[in-house]
Structures are given as C-alpha cells and as structure tokens.
C-alpha cells in the first residue's frame, strides 16, 4: 500500500503559492509549535505531519487541542504504510523538498540520510548533527553516530551567527535551547576577545519542564516538578559539548555548565559569570553586543543593569540580553532569556528555514 500523505496535502503549494513542508515528530511540544507557526506562515504551509504508529489518522488538533481550528490535518504514523522509506518516497512523489525533524536523535539519524538522498533540504531539531566530530557522540550522547559522513556538511543553525552558510545548506542542525541562550550571550564577548581565559566561564541556566520533552517519565510528572527547581542532566549535560564547541572553550575547565528544570511550562533564563580581560570594562562589553547584533531583529539588547525575565519573551522568537559589570573586580555577568519552545526550538527552526530559502528571516515569526 502506498504511504499516504496527511489530509489536505495534495499539492506542494496552495493557490497563494505557499511552499509545502513535511514535519516529522509532530506530536511533541516542539512539533506542536512548528505546526502552529506553519499554520500562519505567509510562505510555507504544513503539508504532511508524522508521528508514531499509534497516532496514525489522529488529527493534530486532537493531539494538541490548542491547534483546533488552525491545524486540523491528520497525523501519519511512520511505522505504517511503508515505514520511513515509504514516507520519504511519497513526499518526494508529491513534490515536497523541505522537511523539519522534531524527532529524537535516533530517528533523525535514520531520516536525514533518506531525505537528503531524495533531494530534500532538512532542518533537524535534535542533537544528531550538532557536533562536528563523530567521536564526540559516544561521550556526550551515548551512541555511535550512524551517519558520520553528514557531520562535516551540516550547518550549525544559530541563526544570528550562521555567517551566511544557511543559504546553501542542505542539512541544518538546529541548536539546543540551552546553547541558544548561552551562545547568544557569550559569543559577542568571546569573539571580541573580552573574556579572561585564565578563569572559567560559569553558565547557570534554568529551563521550563517542556525542555525535557513530551515523554512519560516519573521524574517529569506534575507532582515531581511542581513547586521545585532541580539540577538537570548533570554532571555533564550533553549541551555543554555544544556550548564548548561553538565558543572554543574547553568543557569542564574553561566553561562550566549547570542546567536546571523549573516548574514552568515554557521559558529559559541563562545567567553567565565571567572575568573580563584586564582593561576591558562596561563600554567594551556594550560595544561588543551592539556590533554583534546591530542587524539582528530577534535580539533585544537591554543594556547594562537592565536584566531580562522569561515573561519578557514568552511566545516570541526573541532573545533578551542584559548584563552587569563590576569595575573593581573585573567581573561581568550576562543574562539572556528565551522562550525555549520558540527561539530554543521551533521558532529558530523556522528562522533557519527562512534563511535557507531566501525569505526574510522574520517572516511568520513573533517578535
């Protein structure tokens, strides 16, 4: 039996010319946000949505009631009607050439090569392609990488720092939520040479429980997380490798990372402590941020002494950044806040897709 596409997905474009997109992992929190954003995007439309076999034929609006009236198409079970190969073949025959993967690493590793071979351009929201060396995956992710040949060609999709590479990229690794907030706060100072290398950078971050995914786990039940904040993924959270790789800092020596889960449904606050190089001060810090983000529509620079909160960016694709500097000690603290489901996942994926396809990066995204 030929693998069917989701209801309402007969053609690549609507009469208004919106480009069809396939979404794998539509049943999770990030998948829900991707579907919602695509439902209102002026240039793209959700054309096919995939989940586990138990979701086959179930409307997305039944899985995610917040999508009722906006995204009502049926989900397709990946394990039915031909499996992964059948799904990719049906999408290609239907004229699609863009896919977003909001899937676990193992499934992304299985899907991405098939989609790329079929001519798709892919944005992967998992950690399957975020590290450039296959040898790092056993240490940080606990598995041998199944597609090491793709790592060298995968673009790292921190949109503001992509350096124009996304326009030609066929595979984009969407950053994790913790690294997105940490790197947007750290990279301007790191690239400007303002961080004293003799003292470790300390990254303390607190994320909403939705950052752990929509899985049934005892430690993520409401009664386990409500009213409590706790360390998460320690002693060596996998996102430390990502932060270290992008900053060039040595994990565990030059950069320390302490993530936590908070009893909120969305949002992430990152607090970073560091020492500035001798002679660097508040004016140099401000200049570095202003230079880095003068043309970045989703970065809100609050300035020295004005500090962000997760409520400031909830429901947006923005990152708000503020900082403090102590002239007497030479220390600085940088704070960044994002919506972990948007700028930390689905919103950045759509921002990257916009840049990959020559669209304005702000198109279809809340600011």
Report yes or no on 10 lying in a domain.
no
Q: Could you tell me which of 29, 350, 67 has the C-alpha nearest to residue 211?
A: 29
What does the pLDDT read at residue 79? Answer: 72
Question: Sheet harboring 171-173: ordered strands across?
Answer: 76-77, 44-51, 19-24, 98-101, 121-124, 171-173, 155-156
Report yes or no on 330 lying in a domain.
yes
Could you tell me if 136 and 254 lie in one domain? Answer: no
CA torsion angle 357 45 155 195 (round to 10): 100
Reported as a pLDDT band with limits 50, 70 and 90, residue 217 is: low
Taking each helix axis as running N to C, give the angle between helix 105-117 and helix 83-93, from 0 to 180 degrees, rounded to the nearest 10: 40
Q: Let me know if 75 is a catalytic residue.
A: no
Rounded distance between C-alpha atoms, residue 204 and residue 266, angstroms: 17
Q: Could you tell me which of 318, 237, 208, 323 has the C-alpha nearest to residue 276?
A: 323
CB 322 within 8 A of CB 307: yes
Q: Could you tell me which of 347, 363, 348 has the C-alpha nearest to residue 161?
A: 348
Output the DSSP codes for 33-51. Answer: HHHHHHHT-SSEEEEEEEE
Average pLDDT over residues 198-219: 81
Report yes or no on 5 lying in a domain.
no
Report yes or no on 361 lying in a domain.
no
Could you tell me if 158 and 214 lie in one domain? Answer: no
pTM over 0.85: yes
Distance from the Cα of residue 154 to its chain's centroid? 15
Q: Which position has the token pair 């794998």? A: 24
Q: Which position has the token pair 């401000």? A: 286
Could you tell me if 114 and 221 lie in one domain? Answer: no
**Residue 339: pLDDT above 90?**
yes
Could you tell me if 223 and 105 lie in one domain? Answer: no
Which of 1-15, 199-213, 226-240, 324-338: highest mean pLDDT?
A: 324-338
- Tokens describing residue 321: 């950044």
Could you tell me if 156 and 301 lie in one domain? Answer: no
Per DSSP, 4 falls in state P
What does the pLDDT read at residue 209? Answer: 81
Rounded distance between C-alpha atoms, residue 126 and residue 257, angstroms: 20
CB 319 within 8 A of CB 337: yes
Report yes or no on 7 lying in a domain.
no
Could you tell me if 157 and 188 lie in one domain? Answer: no
Could you tell me if 28 and 81 lie in one domain? Answer: yes
Could you tell me if 158 and 234 lie in one domain? Answer: no
Which residues constitute the domain of residue 30? 19-174+344-356
What does the pLDDT read at residue 267? Answer: 97
Beta-strand pair 230-231/171-173: unpaired
| pLDDT tens for each residue of 9-59 | 333 444 458 999 999 999 999 999 999 999 999 999 999 999 988 899 999
**Residue 143: pLDDT above 50?**
yes
Q: Which residues pair with 338 in a beta bridge?
A: 268, 319
Rounded distance between C-alpha atoms, residue 75 and residue 53, angstroms: 9
Looking at 75, 177, 319, 325, which residue is catalytic?
177
What does the pLDDT read at residue 4? Answer: 38
CATH number at residue 218: 3.30.360.10
Rounded distance between C-alpha atoms, residue 48 and residue 91, angstroms: 8
| pLDDT tens for each residue of 223-259 | 677 888 989 888 989 999 999 999 999 999 999 999 9
Report yes or no on 127 lying in a domain.
yes
Say how many domains are in the chain: 2
Could you tell me if 208 and 159 lie in one domain? Answer: no
Could you tell me if 182 and 170 lie in one domain? Answer: no
Report yes or no on 367 lying in a domain.
no
Could you tell me if 189 and 329 lie in one domain? Answer: yes
Beta-strand pair 19-24/44-51: parallel
Average pLDDT over residues 156-164: 95
Average pLDDT over residues 307-336: 97
320 CB-near residues (< 8 Å, 6+ apart): 300, 302, 308, 312, 313, 336, 337, 338
Rounded distance between C-alpha atoms, residue 42 and residue 267, angstroms: 26
Could you tell me if 60 and 163 lie in one domain? Answer: yes
Beta-strand pair 171-173/201-208: unpaired
CATH number at residue 153: 3.40.50.720
In the three-class reduction of DSSP (H, G, I as helix; E, B as strand; rest coil), residue 264 is classed as: coil
**Residue 197: pLDDT above 60?**
yes
| pLDDT tens for each residue of 97-118 | 999 999 999 999 999 999 999 9
Rounded distance between C-alpha atoms, residue 288 and residue 315, angstroms: 27
Query: What sign has the CA pseudo-torsion 270, 273, 277, 282?
Result: positive
Report yes or no on 309 lying in a domain.
yes
Percent of the chain whose predicted confidence (pLDDT) is above 70: 91
Q: Which residues pair with 205 in a beta bridge?
A: 259, 270
CB 20 within 8 A of CB 48: yes
């Amino acid at each position: 039996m030929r693998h069917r596409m989701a209801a309402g997905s007969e053609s690549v474009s609507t009469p208004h010319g919106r480009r069809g997109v396939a979404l794998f992992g539509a049943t999770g929190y990030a998948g829900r946000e991707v579907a919602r954003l695509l439902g209102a995007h002026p240039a793209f439309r959700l054309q096919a949505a995939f989940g586990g076999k138990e979701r086959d034929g179930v409307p997305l609006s039944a899985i995610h009631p917040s999508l009722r009236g906006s995204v009502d198409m049926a989900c397709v079970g990946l394990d039915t009607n031909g499996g992964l190969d059948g799904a990719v073949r049906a999408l290609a025959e239907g004229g699609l050439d863009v896919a977003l993967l909001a899937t676990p690493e193992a499934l992304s590793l299985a899907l991405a090569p098939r989609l790329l071979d079929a001519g798709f351009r892919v944005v992967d929201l998992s950690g399957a392609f975020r590290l450039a060396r296959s040898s790092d995956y056993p240490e940080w992710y606990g598995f041998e990488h199944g597609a090491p040949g793709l790592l060298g060609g995968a673009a790292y999709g921190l949109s503001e720092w992509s350096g124009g590479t996304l326009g030609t990229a066929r595979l984009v690794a969407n950053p994790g939520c913790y690294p997105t907030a940490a790197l947007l706060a750290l990279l301007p100072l790191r690239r400007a040479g303002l961080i004293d290398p003799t003292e470790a950078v300390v990254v303390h971050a607190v994320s909403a429980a939705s950052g752990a995914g929509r899985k049934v786990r005892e430690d993520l039940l409401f009664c386990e997380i409500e009213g409590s904040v706790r360390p998460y993924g320690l002693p060596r959270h996998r996102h430390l490798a990502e932060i270290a790789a992008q900053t060039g800092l040595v994990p565990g020596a030059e950069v320390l990372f302490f993530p936590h889960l908070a009893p909120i449904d969305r949002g992430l606050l990152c607090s970073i402590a560091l020492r500035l190089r001798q002679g660097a001060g508040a004016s140099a810090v401000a200049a570095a941020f202003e230079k880095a983000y003068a043309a970045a529509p989703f970065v809100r620079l609050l300035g020295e002494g004005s500090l962000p909160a997760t409520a400031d960016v909830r429901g947006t694709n923005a990152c708000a950044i503020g900082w403090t500097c102590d002239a007497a000690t030479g220390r600085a603290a940088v704070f960044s806040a994002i919506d972990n489901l948007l700028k930390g996942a689905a919103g950045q994926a759509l921002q990257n897709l916009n840049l990959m396809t020559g669209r304005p990066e702000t198109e279809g995204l809340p600011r």
